[in-house]
């Protein structure tokens, strides 16, 4: 892992993302993913995956393996059922922070919460909309693990809330931990009346507009699905046009040279 010394700001528009569309899934990839490979777009900092997914009712990802990755899932609408080979079962919904450490290896499935093992549907019947993000851990071969925590009250304040982190500076105020001492994920849930939030200073930042529309100082208007990759930058203000949700990865190292 290394850092860069050249300041740079790159705007990546929502419509330019690679896409996977099948009968039950609409997935948009900010970086190379699966069969979609671009050698010039494989990661930023330690962030390898930033997928925005919409899964239809009664559908989802069947049991599949992961290894040596810190996976953070952030639900924007609907709810998602998680089940894994360690015996964890949980429903992830807006305002719930969730992390899975794949480590030496883990199997898991993710289904729209309208899906049930007994074949019965719950009262709601709507798509689930979420963003899944993968970052590189400090070391391979750690024990796999799972963590989730409700943080809706913190998000209601309209600040930049530290959702997942391994950075020592956020040890006392992070919701959930990740096995990366160089990375932290923050979320701002904003309204038209919210005070502008300030981006942290870091060698690498990834700013993703998950909902709504915002203005970013020095960049301009960003719509839902737009992302900004910053190198050796930070301190910019983000102002919402109305209701909006922004996901920020702060990273102090990068993969490779």
Structural domains of the chain, with CATH: 9-251 (2.60.120.10)
Numbered residues of the known binding site for Fe cation? 64, 66, 108, 110
Q: What is the pLDDT of residue 113?
A: 78
Q: Which residues of the chain have pLDDT under 70?
A: 1-5, 115-124, 257
Beta-strand pair 220-222/60-66: unpaired
Q: What is the pLDDT of residue 211?
A: 97
Instruction: Tell me the per-residue pLDDT of 132-172, one tens digit each, with 9 for 90 and over.
Output: 999 999 999 999 999 999 999 999 999 999 999 999 999 88
Token pair of 34 as six digits? 């699966």
Q: Which residues pair with 202 in a beta bridge?
A: 233
Question: What does each C-alpha distance from 228 to 164, 166, 197, 202 come to in angstroms?
Answer: 20, 22, 15, 14
**What global pTM score does this model have?**
0.93
Question: What does each C-alpha distance from 154 to 57, 129, 177, 186, 187 come to in angstroms?
Answer: 29, 21, 17, 12, 10
Numbered residues of the known binding site? 64, 66, 108, 110
């Amino acid at each position: 892992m290394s850092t860069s010394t050249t300041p740079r700001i790159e705007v990546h528009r929502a419509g330019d993302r690679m896409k996977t569309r099948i009968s039950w899934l609409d997935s948009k990839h900010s970086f190379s993913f699966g069969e979609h490979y671009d050698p010039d777009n494989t990661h930023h900092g330690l962030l390898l995956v930033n997928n925005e997914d919409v899964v239809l009712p009664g559908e989802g990802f069947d049991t599949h393996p992961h290894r040596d990755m810190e996976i953070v899932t952030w639900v924007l609408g609907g709810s998602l059922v998680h089940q894994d080979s360690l015996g964890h079962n949980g429903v992830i919904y807006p305002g719930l922070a969730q992390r899975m450490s794949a480590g030496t290896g883990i199997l898991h499935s993710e289904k729209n919460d309208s899906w049930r093992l007994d074949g019965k549907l719950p009262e709601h019947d709507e798509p689930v909309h979420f963003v899944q993000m993968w970052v590189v851990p400090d070391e391979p071969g750690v024990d796999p693990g799972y963590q989730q925590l409700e943080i809706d009250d913190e998000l209601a304040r309209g600040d930049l809330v530290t959702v997942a982190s391994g950075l020592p500076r956020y040890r006392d105020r992070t919701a959930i931990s990740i096995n990366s001492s160089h990375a932290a994920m923050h979320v701002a849930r904003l309204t038209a009346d919210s005070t502008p939030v300030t981006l942290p200073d870091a060698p690498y930042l990834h700013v993703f507009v998950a909902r709504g529309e915002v203005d970013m100082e020095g960049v301009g208007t960003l719509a839902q699905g737009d992302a900004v990759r910053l190198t050796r930058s930070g301190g910019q203000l983000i102002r919402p046009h109305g209701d909006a949700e922004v996901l920020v990865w702060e990273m102090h190292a990068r993969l490779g040279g």
